[in-house]
């Protein structure tokens, strides 16, 4: 009697089945073609990464307690501070070695 064997999955992956709205699936496939060579799994993994970031932000806000919540006025003040603060000074680009004149030469 022949038995079907499951194909081995690379790494720590698992095969799942999901149902999506047709428009969402079309968008997902389009993004997969544009950014991941058509790999829908990679597009889903990208989305999961963004969900992980959001979960992390929510845990941070919970950890901060009351300090993590800002009124709309406080949020506006923070945005103003971020946009009006001068950016840090940039260092001059490094010159290639050997382009400086030796002392006493000239």
Question: Which tens digit of pLDDT belongs to each residue from 28-43?
Answer: 999 999 999 999 999 9
The answer to whether 32 and 40 have CB atoms below 8 angstroms apart is: yes
Domain with 40, as residue range(s), is 22-78
Instruction: Say how many domains are in the chain.
Output: 1
For residue 8, being part of any structural domain is answered with no
Q: Which two tokens stand for residue 78?
A: 């923070």
103/86 Cα distance (integer angstroms)? 38
Summarised one tens digit per residue, pLDDT across range 11-33 is: 788 999 999 999 999 999 999 99
pLDDT digits (tens, 9 = 90+) for 59-98: 998 998 888 888 999 989 988 998 887 767 777 777 777 7
Q: Does residue 9 sit within a domain?
A: no
Question: Does residue 16 belong to any structural domain of this protein?
Answer: no
The answer to whether residue 11 is domain-embedded is: no
48 in a structural domain: yes
pLDDT at residue number 9: 62
């Amino acid at each position: 009697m022949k038995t079907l064997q499951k194909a081995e999955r690379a790494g720590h992956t698992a095969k799942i089945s999901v149902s999506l709205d047709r428009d969402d699936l079309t968008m997902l496939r389009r993004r997969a073609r544009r950014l991941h060579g058509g790999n829908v799994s990679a597009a889903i993994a990208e989305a999961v990464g963004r969900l992980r970031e959001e979960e992390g932000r929510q845990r941070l806000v919970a950890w901060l307690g009351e300090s993590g919540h800002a009124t709309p006025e406080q949020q506006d003040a923070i945005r103003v501070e971020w946009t009006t603060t001068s950016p840090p000074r940039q260092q001059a680009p490094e010159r290639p070695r050997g382009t400086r004149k030796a002392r006493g030469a000239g």
